Structure 1
């Protein structure tokens, strides 16, 4: 699929040419662990064992690279498996990484409880403050790791500025693009070296598959990632790859609807008496609004807000919604509500990354916007 084609065309067709034998327009699920060889070392299409390569996974990886504007894509069993492989492939014990001081709880746990035992050092810094990030650099810094927007506070990192800072200091920039999706944001085009995703979220889009992805545009980085992808083995299975491909086909259409609904809800919450603060990059009051407008196509489907009446009121509100489902994860067609402090970000409790106890996070789905607004209105008690 030619890179000159538009986003949706590539999302539907890249890596997914009709089957040459049957003409099937959807890639088959190659549910096989091994492949017949035409003599010793005579591989058909390069396939020998499905940990090393599977045609369904290849289709997904080709599509991932295309929609992120990269040269190589890698599909993993989960987003955290993707993150762990990036760390093992590109760093060594003793290296230093700067991470967001409001990182996703699972990412923080990976650095703090897993990678630190391997000898990796990290510093948590406010990624919205370039000077603070620069002051966190040391002689061993080899990577700056950012989410933008961040989870769950929706802070915005300036990807181009952080990429320049990283490269000036012999480090690479990794961007977790899960919240934005490739449709809304293209980190590689802004100077990032590595993009990671939880494909469980917007890429899969239907809350029915767990997966992760890494995309790079540099073969020097791709080679160690490919080696560790195979050697560590946390690869996407063929059915998971097929489900994720199915989701990607409608990514652009879904993201526009997610954004439409989120914009309406953010405006409603910003005017509600029970809401102390709304964290949504699309609001002009958001401190990262201008940067988001520069590097994002639209502002996404995630909203966080602080309940004016405190933690218990926030928790109670989460239990009162009827259209919004109380649950972890995000990015599916259905709207979800959660209390990060007790749910997705419980792993950062007591740390410097602890989130406000009165915070509520919404993953705004694609239902009728009137129903979503009515549900929040009754749950907030007005």
Structure 2
């Protein structure tokens, strides 16, 4: 079956930059409006749920779990280490600096608290991410697929994280636009955005690797790389490596960054710890078995979506980036309840579904998005009212 007809790609405007930006914004407007509508629904359900539960919805979004670590860094800088009851330590060096830098800068300039500054960063970054997702989908499969990709990302079950003072929205925005820059041969932009992504989350290393793998394939095919690509490649790892080196110097150890991750119980073991975690559910009682089967189904769905990405012929930058993000999320040790959140930046997993829905009738697509959005709103409110961090 032939794929969906691509709508004509927006021709580069010959006028001023402002005119080109206005044209791009008008083209992306349905995606941004659809994305904002889903996020508004999720926020309303959360706030109503919090009110009925005698909880503070604002606090759930701005000042719990990782949000508290980012706020503390924004206010006091690095240097805090939490000591748990069993004697293990959790140093704040595990959290990358771009989000707390932005929180502190916005708070000082506006008078907002750093927690509210974090919410503002997340709100703006989530819209920028939705725009970046639209741009990628539009470029590859047309405007309709781009709109659906952005709205589907808003409607994933763990999408509530996009509205929290967490770094996922900021990272996804930088990653989406970096990948778009590579796809449109803007290598210096790609390198700069990747460097910023590397200052945002550890998974920035996956974006760096994706750029380098893409360049290696191009070098193999064309036997040369343009100068702008070389500049972008040299710029890309600056953020991630710069922070890792700074942590090493601060810890006075070449393996300082890895040591910090180890203190948090993080590390890459090929998925053995996660497999044991799921296996523990499978050998339990009926409810435990059901939970284990649900976890297996979730992992299977992610792997199936990744296979569809490869069969769908996605460009090498998207395939490399997605495969690496999935591998890092599923094959790492650490808090297993966070794995769905760690997969949130792997937005190309949604592209095959977006393309399929783009072929369907508008009424069908709206119905599917409505059901997914309602499910995301209920699940997000339930999740944040739980005891464990997302």
More helix by share: 2
TM-score for both structures, normalised by structure 1: 0.29
TM-score for both structures, normalised by structure 2: 0.28
